[in-house]
Amino acid sequence: MNRIVVAGGGLAAARVCEQLRAKGHDGELLVLCAEPHPPYDRPPLTKAALLEERDTTLRTDFELLEADLRLGVAATGLAPDRDVVQTAEGEIPFSTLVIATGSAPVPLPGSGPQHVVRTAQDAARLRAGLRPGAHVVLAGASWIGGEVATAALRLGRRVTCVEPGPAPLSTALGDEVGALFLPWWSDVDLRLGVGVTEVTATGVRLGDGSHLTADVVVAGIGVRPQTDWLSGSGVEVDRGVVVDEHLRTTRPGVYAVGDVAARWSVRWNRHLRVEHWDDARTGPDVAAAVILGGDGGPEPLPVHDPVPYFWSDQFGHKIQYVGQHGAEDAVVVRGRGSAKWGAAWLAPDGTLNAHLSIDQPKQMIHARAAIDAGAKPDPESLADPDALL
Ligand code: FAD
């Protein structure tokens, strides 16, 4: 048997199929996709798709790829001792398995009604909820929170956002950089330093005991990898499916790509779970090459270790972040007070670890190349946003 099974129905799963065929896999290809839709793009779900109906289905042609796409069929288990995936339709044997089950939003506690945005159905439900006069309460002034706030304001809705940190995006970017985003939130009733403890029948209860009445409650407090189905399978899971730099799990013949993977980064000397569109797009190239190249061949195995890249569209601006910063890094704010501001994070030895650009796509491209090259820019000249990296 030469059957590759892909578990998951998002960007990473679609790209794996394209790459496997492009690189010459001529055996069976079977995709288990829990959702009823063929794979689609998620970034528009908190952007254009909240303003109007959007079809974001990917162009991947599964028929042309001769891939057996099983819609609405989830992988429910992986046998520990046999190469079979369990589903509600029975067991499916494989010679190679690619795990691409992505991540799912963490809901808020409480039994009242709430929205999350992960699927096209979630976005359609939220769009319907953003009706005229609705008061929208967001939990989390984060990537998702900022984008939903942007759409809700554009529709003329009243928006309140509850954020436990001292500034928007402070969890991701730190307090100093987060504070620079405050002016963007001027049309939002932003409640900082307090969290939502419970969604009630009529709104949300906050950590200070107060209650906010809401027509729509949206949770934007993070995601977790969809790995429950792998329990007891022999595949190591530690905040994501643990893979090496070749995207191989701890079980031979089993690989993981996209949001679900915690991939070893040679560059950063640790496992990274990169929940970004770009990583789900590019990782499958490497996974397919490794699968088809076979271990122990004459060529060195390809490595997936790009500088991570993420964007977000908020309040009429494009935020672009490249790299990966840690608590020990020093942050340099670039162009403080100007429209072209940004930030750079330097490791204790001066290496550029991460860079934030606002509305400056060219600068982001330079920054990514500089991080890739291990550049050590002069911190003083970095403060000038026009200084080349
Ligand atoms: P997913 O897209 O999560 O797809 C996984 C698929 O597997 C899903 O269809 C799921 O239903 C299915 N599945 C789960 N469990 C099983 C199972 N047991 N069996 C079979 N199928 C299963 N990134 C950016 O860089 N910029 C952005 O602006 C941006 N905006 C975003 C906005 C939203 C609303 C969301 C949700 C994400 C956004 N992202 C953004 C992140 C980006 O979309 C993800 O990184 C990307 O979708 C990851 O792709 P994936 O295929 O790994 O996982």
Phi and psi torsions of 309, nearest 5°: -135, 135
> How many domains are there within the chain?
3
Total length of the chain: 389
Segment 309-324 mean pLDDT: 98
Would residue 147 count as lying in a domain?
Answer: yes
CATH number at residue 331: 3.30.390.30
Instruction: Judge if 244 and 343 occupy the same domain.
Output: no
Question: What spacing in Å lies between the alpha carbon of 77 and ligand 1's midpoint?
Answer: 20
- State if residue 246 touches ligand 1 by the CB under 6 angstroms criterion: no
Model confidence at 296: pLDDT above 70? no
Q: Does this complex have an ipTM over 0.95?
A: yes
Say which CATH number the domain at 149 has.
3.50.50.60
CA of 29 relative to ligand 1 center, distance in Å: 21
Is 25 inside any structural domain? Answer: yes
Q: What pLDDT is recorded for position 387?
A: 84
Is residue 77 situated within a structural domain?
yes
**Interatomic CA distance for residues 307 and 280, integer angstroms:** 13
Check pocket membership of 341 for ligand 1, CB cut-off 6 A. Answer: no
CB of residue 312 inside a 6 A radius of ligand 1: yes
pLDDT in tens, 261-280: 999 999 999 999 999 999 99
CA of 122 to the centre of ligand 1 (A): 13
Instruction: Work out which ligand 1 atom sits closest to the CA atom of 257.
Output: 52
CB burial readout 353-379, b (16+ within 10 A) else e: bbbbbbebeebbebbbebbeeeeebee
Residue 298 pLDDT level (bands cut at 50, 70, 90): low
Cβ of 42 closer than 6 Å to ligand 1, yes or no, is: yes
Residue 298 lies in a domain: no
Task: For residue 287, list its beta bridge partners.
Answer: none
Residue 98 belongs to what domain range? 3-103+224-293
Question: Which two three-digit tokens encode residue 225?
Answer: 């990898």
Residue pLDDT, tens place only, 28-80: 999 999 999 999 999 999 999 999 999 999 999 999 999 999 999 999 999 99
